[in-house]
Amino acid sequence: MKYIIVGGTSGIGLATAKMAVEAGHSVLVAGRDPSKFSAAQSIGATTAQLDASNIAATQHFFSAEGDFDHLVLCASGSAGAGHFRELALEDLRKGFEVKLWPQVTCAKAALPTLKVEGSITFISAISSRAMKPGTAGLAAINAALEALVPILASELRPTRVNAVAPGVVDTPWWSRVPEAARKELFEQLASGVAVGRVGKPEDLASAIISLTTNTFITGTILDCDGGWKLKNS
């Protein structure tokens, strides 16, 4: 089977590409920055440059690639985080532009060449429903993505449409935080997670591959958060 993973040059997307390649699938990783392609190429994936914010370019990309089986949408960004009083609205707008719109644009552009028995998997985040202070903007972005899932699963049937909602995962998403502070933050966050640790990219990759290969799951948002949204007992 052929996977196209948008935003697969690092973190969750790269881990998913690696797992899919190891399972014997053909994998194309698409990203904006060719300088980041080497990691995907080293695991046996092919790579292609794609600016998923450009509608015409995205349509051309999928048309040129031809038929494929599974679309995994890992395009993301850190814009939109912060307490609402201090949150710059332009930052929140950017958050929508770097995560919601690229994933939606790719999903629509892929439909003519995505096999009808295939799947689309969005990547949202548990911030959509965790109701944590400081995440209102992220919640809005990810809740918008999740709202699409059951409706598209019904509209596009038999093509399956699902989403994975990560919790706190140790990926380059957190690179904006200095290393020492990041380590301390992860330790603090791990203490409030039911499983007692933050996530690894491989945790999410396993969930994504499960959704793409299980042909009896559609319209589902799979929380992969270690119990982060659960209230402490």
Give the model's pLDDT for residue 232.
53
Q: Is there a domain that residue 73 lies in?
A: yes
Give the model's pLDDT for residue 233.
46
What whole-number percentage of the chain has pLDDT above 70? 96
Give the model's pLDDT for residue 105.
98
In a 10 Å sphere around its CB, with 0-12 CB exposed, 13-18 middle and 19+ buried, how is residue 171 labelled? buried
Q: Is there a domain that residue 47 lies in?
A: yes
For the full predicted model, state whether its pTM sits above 0.85.
yes
- Distance linking the first and last C-alpha atoms of the chain: 44
Q: Is there a domain that residue 132 lies in?
A: yes
- Give, as one character, the DSSP assignment of residue 100: I
114-123 and 68-73 strand pairing: parallel
Residues spanned by the domain of 37: 2-170+200-224
Q: Is there a domain that residue 153 lies in?
A: yes
ω before 158 within 30° of 0 (cis)? yes
The lowest-confidence range among 72-81, 154-163, 167-176 is 167-176
Strands (DSSP E) contained in the chain are: 2-6, 26-31, 46-49, 68-73, 114-123, 160-166, 221-224
Element (H, E) at 198: none
Q: Is there a domain that residue 15 lies in?
A: yes
Q: Is there a domain that residue 190 lies in?
A: no
Average pLDDT over residues 145-160: 98
Q: What is the pLDDT of residues 80-110, one digit of tens each?
A: 989 999 999 999 999 999 999 999 999 999 9
- Give, as one character, the DSSP assignment of residue 219: S
Give the model's pLDDT for residue 164.
98
Q: Is there a domain that residue 188 lies in?
A: no
Q: What DSSP letter does each residue of 132-177 carry, written as one string? A: -TT-HHHHHHHHHHHHHHHHHHHHTTTSEEEEEEE-SB-SGGGTTS
Average pLDDT over residues 195-205: 94
Q: What is the pLDDT of residues 42-56, one digit of tens each?
A: 999 999 999 999 999
d(CA 85, CA 11): 30
**CA-atom Rg of the chain in angstroms:** 17
Which amino acid is present at 170?
A: D
Q: Which residues, including other chains, have CB under 8 Å from residue 12's CB and lie 6 or more apart?
A: 74, 123, 166, 169, 171, 201, 204, 205, 208
State the total domains in the chain.
1
Q: Which residues, including other chains, have CB under 8 Å from residue 80's CB and lie 6 or more apart?
A: 87, 91, 92, 94, 95, 96, 137, 138, 140, 141
- Look up the CATH number of the domain holding residue 144: 3.40.50.720
Q: Is there a domain that residue 78 lies in?
A: yes
Average pLDDT over residues 178-190: 76
Q: Which two tokens stand for residue 50?
A: 């794609």
Average pLDDT over residues 170-188: 74
